Amino acid sequence: MLQITNMVKKYKKVTAVDGLSMKIDKGHIYGFVGANGAGKTTTMKIVAGLLKATSGKVYVNGIDIQADPGGVKKQIGYMPDFFGVYDDLRVDEYMDFYAGVYGIPADKRKKVCDDLVELVNLKDKMDAYVDSLSRGMKQRLCLARSLIHNPQLLILDEPASGLDPRARAEIKEILKELRDMGKTILISSHILPELSQLCTSIGIINAGKMVINGTVDEIMQRVSVNKVLIVKVNGEMQPAVSFLKEQPVLCNVTVSNDQISADFNGDDEQLARILAQMVERKIPVISFREAEKNLESIFMNLTVGGMKDAV
């Protein structure tokens, strides 16, 4: 559905996107992860036809964006990382305006708008002024707007940014529904646990370069992240902390929230030996486990100094 090959975007001396390549298959949800200024929004704007790449190729559904930008725009629904709403319009007028902008025939506009407003659960707000909507509602309205011309590829830049957990959950449910409808979605977000639950593939970008991309499981396997050991003891923690600090395979031993955590660089046998020695020394261990490796730890590992080691 989307194929980017060796895309470069330069602003005078600054290179915002540096030789980025990625591919999203039809019907997939692709999570685009990166720190602020990594080049996510620039990439998305280029795909949406709002910026021109300095070099490289972008194909949407087989259409070259440079050769036929109009054809590509028909395929894309873009939702930027800001609301972009006209406060003086009511919800129905807002949708009707964009339906007109997208060239939906006048006799079909009302039905299209009604269906989309219903999809994003704003049916009861149809007569409300956009200005009066909550942040989450505005975000859902923007999502409905981006769907108005029935695009095949949705580009969502930080759709859950600044939303409370309930509003985030609502957006997530709508995205799942869109996935079930067969839409291809490119989504950027800082809320990584949600991305890993929602996305079929992930791409991590750092300083304009794609650091790693693939399915969440693939990435978990490919990236070697330091394991983190979590230990809980009953009562006094100081003897346990002292013992763990003496171990050569452990470093960065810290205490927080009644538990001790330490970076572990060893194998399972060494881990078992440490536990046995703690029991021998009569340290009252009530929990001893390895922290779960997640997208957040991978992201931190790849974007803060760990980039060089990756892939």
Interface contacts to other proteins, rule CB under 8 A:
45, 48-52, 69-70, 73-74, 76, 78, 80, 82-89, 93, 97-98, 100-103, 106, 145, 149
What angle, rounded to 10 degrees, do the helices at 135-146 and 106-119 form? Answer: 140
Torsion of CA 235, 236, 239, 242, to 10 degrees: 110
CA separation for the pair 188, 204 (Å, rounded): 10
Min CB(155)–other proteins separation in Å? 9
Q: How far is the CB of 201 from other proteins (least distance, A)?
A: 24
For other proteins, which is the closer residue by CB, 15 or 66?
Answer: 66
Dist. CA 237–CA 153, nearest whole Å: 53
Q: Which is nearer to other proteins, 75 or 201 (CB)?
A: 75
What's the token pair of residue 168?
């985030």
Closer to other proteins at the Cβ: 153 or 204? Answer: 153
Report the residue number, 149 or 168, with the smaller CB distance to other proteins: 149
Query: What helix, strand, coil percent values describe the chain, rounded to 5?
Result: 40, 30, 30
Question: Residue 5 or residue 287: which is nearer to other proteins going by CB?
Answer: 5
How far from chain centre, in Å, is Cα 41?
12
Give the nearest distance from C-beta 96 to other proteins in angstroms: 8
Whole-number Cα distances in Å, 304 to 39, 59, 204, 300, 310: 16, 31, 12, 6, 11
Q: How far apart are CA 10 and CA 42, in angstroms?
A: 10
Q: Which is nearer to other proteins, 14 or 106 (CB)?
A: 106
In angstroms, give the least distance from the CB of 74 to other proteins.
Answer: 6
Instruction: Considering the complex, state which of residue 47 and residue 199 has its C-beta at the smaller distance from other proteins.
Output: 47
What's the chain's length in residues?
Answer: 311
Least distance from other proteins to the Cβ atom of residue 166, Å: 25
> Least Å distance between CB 60 and other proteins?
13
3-state secondary structure 110-169: HHHHHHHHHHCCCHHHCCCEHHHCCHHHHHHHHHHHHCCCCCCEEEEECCCCCCCHHHHH
Taking the complex as a whole, the smallest distance from the CB of residue 211 to other proteins amounts, in Å, to 27
